[in-house]
Structure 1
Amino acid sequence: MKAVMAVCALLMLGGCATGGPSNPPWAAFSGGSCGKLSDDQELSMNLADDMAKEGKLHASLANLQNLPEGFAQVQLRKARIYRQLGRPEAGPLYRGLLGTCLSAEGDHGLGQLAAARGDNTLAASYLERAAQAAPTDEKIRNDLGVVYLNQLRTDEARFEFLTALELKQSDQLAALNLVTLLIYQDQWNQAAELASRAELTPEQVSDAQARAQALKTQAAKPASHQVAAIK
């Protein structure tokens, strides 16, 4: 389990739950409203977004707590902050988005939480459903590629990274993950070309090499050892 979690932590999730990706009745957080916020509420939410971008997660959360809890947009932002802070409130908030206008974001978040725990099978289920609901969201496609790469499903991972890059050519995260995959497959010339085109720093390329080596170490383990590690 520790080995799998270590590989997952090394790979780059955008923005990487208990139970499967069904839609159970989460009583405490279900049915978030997708109605329009007032102008003042929108202003508060934008302020919270700015604070989160600056890394002021606690201040951002404090501003969100002034807004109505029933709005899905507010619920999503709280879930993201709680996830970044490693707080358990993130899971129920993400689950509460399932079945709403932000259902894809709910599945995305649950997939990220599962991947962070090293449960790549569950993460793939959530992220595949998120990608079906929002196929042009490059962050979801990148994160699904990361989970596939953690599972050593390299062809599927490549497809997702390329999709993310074509959806947003300036996405360095997807480029970095694809460079990792190319190095893992010893395709050094392609990796160097992509790293140059994406303007990755030497430090980022070194990180990609380290992550590729971790994947090679994982792949070299006997199948029985890998299963034991997942448990």
Structure 2
Amino acid sequence: MKALLLATLLLALTGCAADGRIDWQALNGKPGECPKPTPEQELSLNLADDMANEGRLHASLANLEGLPGNLLQVRLRKARVLRQLGRSDAEPLYRGLLGTCLAAEGEHGLGQLAAARGNNGLAMSHLQRAARLSPTDDKIRNDLGVVYLNQLRLDDARFEFLTAMELKQEDPLAASNLVTLLLYQDNWKQAAELVSRAHLTPDQVNAAQARAEKLRSGVKVVATLDAPAK
């Protein structure tokens, strides 16, 4: 029966989802409080962003090394690249953002690091603070939902995923995580409806089902923005 329902999910797909790239320019700093980079620095930051989005993380980091390390925008980008590379020096950079106009991003990054280590309690604390600082950041709300899902706080997870989906309707990440939750609950009908409405791809549906199976077996899910590079 489940095999038939999964086939129904896959047949319900219509359209293509977004490519899932990180929005490296969405810093969400408080307006007027972050020092603005010079035009030349902005150009270098944009180049580093492009390289990171293309998966050229080492090249992106090399370009960032040529910029002033005291610029908060540089610190944030360095922290994100280092986190994806699995480097431990990402954490002090994120901590250096706390108390600044990019405090929400600092808390978010620390939450992602804690979640990747399987420390969902610490991740929840950081991500809850991040959500209070930047309540309309869809990525923060999605990642908080993932942590709640790992803790099997299903109502809280559903709330965060729905919030993220409404904040950024064209991003399929939160929708695929909500499908994971629905499949974990054996709610195949709602899952099929969401797959169709969010235009999820077969790969995204299969990944959601695999995450649901892992949850059933007690394995925690890391379905945040990106994974460390191998």
Q: Structures share a fold, TM > 0.5?
A: yes
Shift of 1:170: 1.1
Contact 1:45/1:64 (8 A) holds in 2? yes
Which residue pairs with 1:112 in the alignment?
112
Kindly provide the CA deviation profile for residues 149-185 of structure 1, in whole angstroms up to 9, marking residues without a partner as x: 0000000000000000000111200000000000111
Stretches of structure 2 lacking an aligned partner (at least 5 in a row)? 1-19, 23-32, 220-230
Q: Secondary structure at the match of 2:217?
A: helix
Q: Secondary structure at the match of 1:218?
A: coil
- Residues 14 and 120 (structure 1), Cα distance of their counterparts in 2 relative to 1, 3 Å cut: farther
Which residue pairs with 1:229 in the alignment?
none
Q: Distance in 1 between matches of 2:202 and 2:34?
A: 43
RMSD: 1.6
Quick check: which one's helix share is greater? 1
> Do structure 1's residue 174 and structure 2's residue 142 form an aligned pair?
no
Pairing of 1:144-223 with structure 2 (within 5 A): 144-218=144-218
Q: Secondary structure at the match of 1:145?
A: helix
Shift of 1:80: 0.0
How many residues were matched structurally?
Answer: 190
> Do structure 1's residue 62 and structure 2's residue 62 form an aligned pair?
yes
Q: Secondary structure at the match of 2:98?
A: coil
Q: Secondary structure at the match of 2:67?
A: coil
> Do structure 1's residue 139 and structure 2's residue 139 form an aligned pair?
yes
Contact 1:148/1:156 (8 A) holds in 2? yes
% identical aligned pairs: 71
Residue 181 of structure 1 aligns with an amino acid whose one-letter code is L
Shift of 1:198: 1.2
Shift of 1:14: 9.2
Residue 100 of structure 1 aligns with an amino acid whose one-letter code is T
Shift of 1:34: 2.9
Q: Distance in 1 between matches of 2:162 and 2:178?
A: 8
* Length-normalised TM-score, structure 1: 0.80
Residue 131 of structure 1 aligns with an amino acid whose one-letter code is A
* Length-normalised TM-score, structure 2: 0.80
Say which is worse superposed, 44-53 or 76-85, in terms of deviation. 44-53
Q: Distance in 2 between matches of 1:14 and 1:162?
A: 20
